[in-house]
A and B are shown apart, each in its own frame.
Chain A
Amino acid sequence: MRKKTARGARESSLASGWTIEADEAPHLDGAPEAPGPEAHAEEAPGQEAHAEAGFSSDAAADAAADAVSAAPERAQLSNGTLVILGVLGGLYLLYAWIWLSWASYYAGANAELAAASGAIGGTLQQLVFWAAPLAPILWFLAAMALNRGRTKRLVLWVAIGAIVLLPLPVFSGGGSV
């Protein structure tokens, strides 16, 4: 947490440093957009999240789009926060996929049961089963909407969700009946 905020602060100071030190270091003027990625690359080894860069790249874009739509000009999310949210967002998508597979399994098993028992209960039970895959997605959206502009709390809530919604049967081989 502290590391992340420090990075955010450092990056902004670097950006302002550019405008101030432009006279002192004219040889760097050629690439005005260099500091962003450069600083990012410098920070990269200190952060394990970058180990999954390939996994997070599209998820990061996803989360970035989410962040832009969720918090328009309230507070700019730092790069580190975006990477963390992107990795967790990708994880959430993976969760949703796993839950979807189980929901379809139980919906199939439950369809026979519903045919035997009451129609209303069966329908509602199907609805509840199919609600499970939406859990990670809705949790992410709700966390985004509830914690606008409060990045630490947002990351905390998303991290809590990643633990709470962890599909436990994955670790036991799944499908134990």
Chain B
Amino acid sequence: MAKRITAWIAGILITGLYVYVVVAAIGNLVLLPQMGASLGLGIAPAGWFWLGFGLLLPVVVYALALAIARRRSAGLRILVLAAGLCLVAAVQLEVLHLVPQSSYFA
């Protein structure tokens, strides 16, 4: 019983981080065009792509992680979910590094 509760708590915490990444991506998607508009700039197609990518990536990775770890033990499922979250974080760092901020605006 305690094991199940621990697994659920860990799963909920990790899911919460996924949700945060999605919420932050939605925030970027909504606020960045406003920011650009206040500067008299629009969003470039590449900018839209990266904003949408940041929104879709955590969702897709979460679904994939759940699908891969289906019918496995709870600990293994949480390990795969955590690995997926770390993958999302790593890709996010990559995008931050490689895509210049100025290329979002047009």
Query: Which of A132, A142, A176, A177 meets B90, CB within 8 Å?
Result: A132
- Please encode chain B, from 68 to 102, with 1 for each CB lying within 8 Å of some chain A CB and 0 for all others: 11001000100110110111111011101110110
Chain B residues within 8 Å of A131, by CB: 17, 82, 85-86, 89
- The A109-151 residues at the B interface (CB cut-off 8 A) are 121, 124-125, 127-135, 138-139, 141-142, 145-146
Interface size for A (C-beta < 8 A) is: 32
What is the minimal beta-carbon distance from B68 to any residue of chain A, in angstroms?
7
A164: Cβ under 8 A from any B Cβ: yes
What is the minimal beta-carbon distance from A49 to any residue of chain B, in angstroms?
25
**In the docked arrangement, what's the CA distance between A121 and B93, Å?**
17
A106: Cβ under 8 A from any B Cβ: yes
B24: Cβ under 8 A from any A Cβ: yes
Residue of A nearest to B18 (CB): A128
Cβ–Cβ contact B79 & A127, under 8 A: no
Query: Which of B17, B86, B93 meets A138, CB within 8 Å?
Result: B86
Cβ–Cβ contact A124 & B76, under 8 A: no
- The A8-42 residues at the B interface (CB cut-off 8 A) are none
Interface residues of A (CB under 8 A from B): 99, 102-103, 106, 121, 124-125, 127-135, 138-139, 141-142, 145-146, 164-165, 167-169, 172, 174-177
Interface residues of B (CB under 8 A from A): 17, 20-21, 24, 68-69, 72, 76, 79-80, 82-83, 85-90, 92-94, 96-98, 100-101
11 A-B pairs besides A131-B89, A132-B86, A146-B68 with CB distance below 8 A are A99-B93, A128-B85, A128-B92, A132-B89, A138-B79, A145-B79, A146-B69, A146-B80, A165-B87, A169-B94, A169-B97
**What are 21 sample pairs from A and B whose C-beta atoms fall under 8 A apart?**
A106-B96, A124-B24, A125-B24, A128-B89, A129-B89, A132-B86, A132-B92, A135-B86, A135-B87, A135-B89, A135-B90, A138-B86, A142-B76, A142-B83, A145-B76, A146-B72, A146-B80, A167-B94, A169-B97, A169-B98, A176-B98
